[in-house]
Amino acid sequence: MSDEKLQKVLARAGLGSRREMERAIADGRVTVDGKKASLGDRVTEDARVSVDGRPIKLTAPDSVRGRVLIYNKPDNEICSRKDPEGRRSVFESLPRARGERWISVGRLDFTTSGLLLFTTDGELANKLMHPSSVIEREYLCRVMGQAKEENLQALVDGVLLDDGVARFTDIVDGGGEGINHWFYVVIMEGRNREVRRLWESQGLQVNRLKRVRYGNIFLPPKLKAGQWMELPADEVNKVYEMAGLAPVAKSKLPKKQDTKPRGKAVRVRGRKPR
């Protein structure tokens, strides 16, 4: 029986992302076989692990996979669980995870809407967010100003931002009239405000931004802002494959998963152009 890093095992158990589990270990909240754990500890499946005094059931890498949700984030929701300013959190709209917790795969800015993935598997979330996974993120942007050909070429060639060179791997004209114009753009990373900062480097402003795709997962047209939808077993396996993790037989996944849009729909302006 092989051993694994403690934070990796805890993440797979659905307690949070690897980074969150590393913080929990550093804060002294985790014990292994009755002793306080340390960063760097490795454990096997038969170890007795507790977090905040609560025993944790460890799972093997090839055991039942986590659940995956698609959420259509409205404008003006935060991606943190709590906010000192009292703003609404995306987690308030999600269903209960039955003894686990939902982990956000990346974040969207407060004023950015669209596709957010959530999973109960912290290891899956970590793989999907890691730069080595090289997963495309596609956004629909409404840009204010005149985007000339040289601007678009510069954005594809690469622009030096404060945190390094960034670029769009693809730009597609989405139409529009007057001062505002729509574009579909693709990035390979998820840096803070990356899409907006790229356009700003060309003297242009983004006044609407919506994520419509994450890898091979598209935002379903029937999923209204503020609603969520759980992926069925075969789609969950595709998400694991996208993250570079081995899929699991359907028999090991929950028999029923909710593929109908759920949650309270929230009206937002700036819909996809028709």
Number of residues written out for the chain: 274
Asked if residue 210 and residue 146 are part of one domain, the reply reads yes
What is the residue-wise DSSP string for 219-263?
PPTT--TT-EEEPPHHHHHHHHHHTT-----GGGS-S----S-BS
* pLDDT computed for residue 248 by the predictor: 65
Q: Is residue 271 part of a domain?
A: no
* pLDDT computed for residue 20 by the predictor: 86
CATH number of the domain bearing residue 30: 3.10.290.10
* pLDDT computed for residue 137 by the predictor: 96
Annotated catalytic residue, options 46, 109, 121, 173: 109
Q: Is residue 226 part of a domain?
A: yes
Asked if residue 223 and residue 205 are part of one domain, the reply reads no
Q: Is residue 258 part of a domain?
A: no
Q: Which range marks the domain in which residue 12 is found?
A: 4-56
**Residues paired with residue 51 on neighbouring β-strands, in sequence order:** 30, 54
* pLDDT computed for residue 246 by the predictor: 79
Q: How far is CA 43 from the centre of its chain?
A: 27
Asked if residue 107 and residue 155 are part of one domain, the reply reads no
Q: Is residue 62 part of a domain?
A: no
Annotated active-site residue 109? The verdict is yes
Angle (nearest 5°) at CA 21 between 15 and 26? 145
* pLDDT computed for residue 57 by the predictor: 82
Asked if residue 226 and residue 91 are part of one domain, the reply reads yes
Global pTM reads 0.77
CATH number of the domain bearing residue 174: 3.30.2350.10
Residues of the chain with confidence (pLDDT) below 70: 1, 61-64, 99, 248-260, 264-274
**Residues paired with residue 101 on neighbouring β-strands, in sequence order:** none
Asked if residue 92 and residue 208 are part of one domain, the reply reads no
Q: Is residue 194 part of a domain?
A: yes
* pLDDT computed for residue 249 by the predictor: 58
Asked if residue 220 and residue 210 are part of one domain, the reply reads no
* pLDDT computed for residue 64 by the predictor: 59
Q: How far is CA 122 from the centre of its chain?
A: 11
* pLDDT computed for residue 251 by the predictor: 46
Q: Is residue 63 part of a domain?
A: no
Number of domains in the chain: 3
